[in-house]
Amino acid sequence: MRNFMYTIFILSLFTGCKDDTGGPTPPSDGPILSTINYDVTESDQDKTLKVNIGFADPLTRSSVLNYELIEQTATAGLDFETQSGQLVYAIGETQKELNLSILGDFIPEETETFQIRLFSSANSFEEKLTTITIIDNDKSIEDLVIPGGTSSPESYPGYNLVWADEFKDNALSSEFWNIETGNGCPDLCGWGNNELEYYTPDNIYFRDDDYLVIQARPENIGFNEYTSSRITTEGKKSFQYGRIDIRAVLPEGPGIWPALWMLGDNIRTVSWPACGEMDIMELIGSAPRTVHGTFHYGPNFNDRQQKGSSYSLDPGQKFIDEFHVFSLVWEEDRVQVLMDDILVQEMTPDLIEPYTYPFNESFFFIFNVAVGGNWPGSPNLNTTFPQHMIVDYIRVFQK
């Protein structure tokens, strides 16, 4: 896979030229096609790529757009399913969605391309070509090294194990987890942080029947240049008090932002930050030896508050090098964030007076790797892709 940032290329607008067949010049006042190129990652499963096809401005008359797929280095029937057809646009429309089938396999391959040819049989607008780049992903997961590192006990005196996910079935349990999709739009574009990624289920992998892997990679979906994954237990698994252990390896690089965190179950009714947020671990990829534990609270977005602290490994060590255990020790009126049993941050009601203390209610889990955003900034030429957060297990103990 290429280790640089992918940018969206707007294709040039053509006027006053003859088409490939030597036919008449399209009318100068005809509709102008406006398309973008797409990157898509091929892995071991077939997937559907949604491509927006259309015009720069709303149409003043109905139009028919013909399309066909053209091989380049990618092969029809092996890398993508061939198709052709027509898209019919009514007056006032601009865009239609075209679904393309990208074929998966287990064979490591080079990056390959094919094109969508867009044309008018009536010669009412200039022909265009949109390029689809298929980035093979088999090799990146195949070569992913699972390191050693810190672990945690399977039991604690006075506690019982009430829930765990050891990720041993090579699939994410729908009984426990939701997979979020999109970029937060239209309600919360950029997920409230001006993030650059588009979340998809396709960035979730499993290794060795024992590890969950969330991958962040450069891949164009619409106007998003990166994809990643975000999973939650909202509505399925939530807890009030206990000890929580999460064993993970963290990614690195400018613009990379992994997080293991919790939100209050009442977020749908009281909103954020009144519901409370507990960040068990966040890492800013440009500082790969430092993790942060933070609590968010406050009555509303305009009066949002936070208290947090950080912990740094010794110089020369990074959280990408081996597993560490990120924990929450949580009881009534007290929560502690730990890293390998070292205290990072503590929260009690007196620390946030006169604000309401929301951390005595039930909370659910969120795991994600964001790309870009207000805090980490954007990836740059020093950011290598793909990046991976590897999770060995999550365990919840209660008294």
Q: With CA atoms as reference, report the closest residue to 20 among 159, 98, 128.
A: 128
- For 1, half-sphere exposure in the C-beta direction (CA atoms, 13 angstrom radius) is 28
Give catalytic status of residue 282 as yes or no: yes
Q: Could you give the 3-state DSSP secondary structure of residue 286?
A: coil
Q: Which of 277, 331, 346, 361 is catalytic?
A: 277
- CA 70 to chain CA centroid, nearest Å: 30
CA-CA-CA-CA torsion sign (163, 166, 172, 173): negative
Alpha carbon 12 to its chain centroid, in Å, reads: 30
Identify whether 277 is a catalytic site residue.
yes
User: Tokens standing for 129?
Assistant: 């070509």
State whether residue 96 is helix, strand or coil.
strand
Interacting residues of 342 by C-beta distance below 8 A, sequence separation 6+: 311
How far apart, in whole angstroms, are the C-alpha atoms of residue 84 and residue 67?
5
Which position among 175, 282, 332, 361 bears the catalytic label?
282
Inter-residue contact 39 to 133 (CB < 8 Å): yes
Residues assigned a catalytic role = 277, 282
